[in-house]
Amino acid sequence: MDRSKYCISAFKSNKSIESNTIRLCHDLEVYIHEHENQKTKKSLEKYLARMLQILKNNHKLSKTENLKVKIGQIFEQYNTIELVLVNITVFDLEMAGVLFHIFILSIDTPLESYFVHNSQNLGKLLITPVSSLDLDLLSGQFFRDLLKHPSISAAFLTLEIFNGLIEAACNQMFEIQSDACVSLRSLLTGPDSSSFINNNSYQILNGLYSCSETNYYVKRSSLKLLYSLLSIEENQNFSYNFVENKENLKYAMRLMREETHCEIKIEGFLIFSQICKIVLMREDKDHLDAYKIILKNKGMLIKYLSKFQQEREDNHFHTIRSQVISFISDLP
């Protein structure tokens, strides 16, 4: 072995978790510059397999005390995760998948802190499409796996990352669109997302509306997400801002009346039903333009909703429809 390619550590027998992790980091650096060299690739694959064994409790080193802390500290020291993401296209799909799996299994205090402190750069790298669709989709799944960690999820809740996902959702390639839609839902419906949503309600609504102008799938996904956000009690400020603009009510009503796709009509109805629920529960509803529109069109709305999608075989839908009709019927 040419030790000049590595650090001063001799890696005599690679028996410690530290030496294995350092060796992996250095093999990654060498592979990025020499990825066409088969010897370099085999060496990297060897240490990837070993690290995966260790983290899956299938190796004698798996019992190392503070295992993930030690691995995470070295990954942080060598900036390994950013190095991989910046150079992701030099890895084949299988190798990239193993690397992401190792990173996820290694998350503990040091690595979690690393993701939090570098969230904007790492998040942007994960959601920006590269030249390989398979790697894009793999990165999207890695992004969503990271969202399962509350502190990382909170750090990813920024307008820069949100706008990046909106841009990806408007991409010309369907697979990237759909993956971005899944990531948007995961990001905005997490346990600690309400503060971000309430503080950025205007930007979020504009982003979702821009998605609704793309195609059927993205439009339906963005409308379903909008309904979900309106249905979450903690998103009160977002919901109030939404119903205070009468144009949002008009938009939902247009979807119900004018859309040719049945499922988009249903999404429009669900948003309309949530507007009714929010408006009618407000003590100050008399000053809301949305309330005045509903009140003015009470008879027409009851007549329309009574026939709306009558043949649909969906008990949940009919329950909501009956509730909305009841709400409107009880208006003075």
Percent of the chain with pLDDT over 90: 89
Residue 192 lies in a domain: no
Q: Which domain holds residue 61?
A: 1-156
b/e map 112-137, b = 16+ CB within 10 Å: bebbbebbeebbebbbebeebeebbb
Average pLDDT over residues 11-39: 87
Give the SS3 label for residue 311: coil
CA torsion through residues 77, 78, 80, 86, sign: positive
Average pLDDT over residues 250-270: 95
Q: What band does 3 get if pLDDT is binned at 50, 70 and 90?
A: very low
Residue 191 lies in a domain: no
Q: Which pLDDT score, from 0 to 100, does residue 6 have?
A: 44
Nearest Cα neighbor of 85 from 59, 118, 53 is 118
Evaluate if residue 11 carries a pLDDT over 50: no
Q: Which pLDDT score, from 0 to 100, does residue 283 have?
A: 86
Average pLDDT over residues 76-92: 97
Instruction: Identify the residue whose tokens are 């938009």.
Output: 251
Give the SS3 label for residue 161: helix
Q: What band does 10 get if pLDDT is binned at 50, 70 and 90?
A: very low
Q: For the segment 159-168, what is each residue's pLDDT rounded down to a tens digit?
A: 999 999 999 9
Residue 9 lies in a domain: yes
Residue 236 lies in a domain: no
Q: Which pLDDT score, from 0 to 100, does residue 14 have?
A: 54
Is 281 exposed, middle or buried, given 0-12, 13-18 or 19+ CB atoms closer than 10 A? exposed
Q: What band does 154 get if pLDDT is binned at 50, 70 and 90?
A: very high
Q: Cα–Cα distance between 69 and 124 in angstroms, integer?
A: 25
CATH value at residue 93: 1.25.10.10
Evaluate if residue 293 carries a pLDDT over 70: yes
Residue 318 lies in a domain: no
Number of domains in the chain: 1
Concatenated DSSP letters for 228-259?
Answer: HHHH-GGGHHHHHHHHTSHHHHHHHHHHHHH-
Evaluate if residue 29 carries a pLDDT over 90: yes
Residue 86 lies in a domain: yes
Mean pLDDT taken over the chain: 93
Is 84 exposed, middle or buried, given 0-12, 13-18 or 19+ CB atoms closer than 10 A? buried
Concatenated DSSP letters for 115-152?
Answer: HHHTHHHHHHHHHS--S-HHHHHHHHHHHHHHTTSHHH
Residue 201 lies in a domain: no
Residue 173 lies in a domain: no
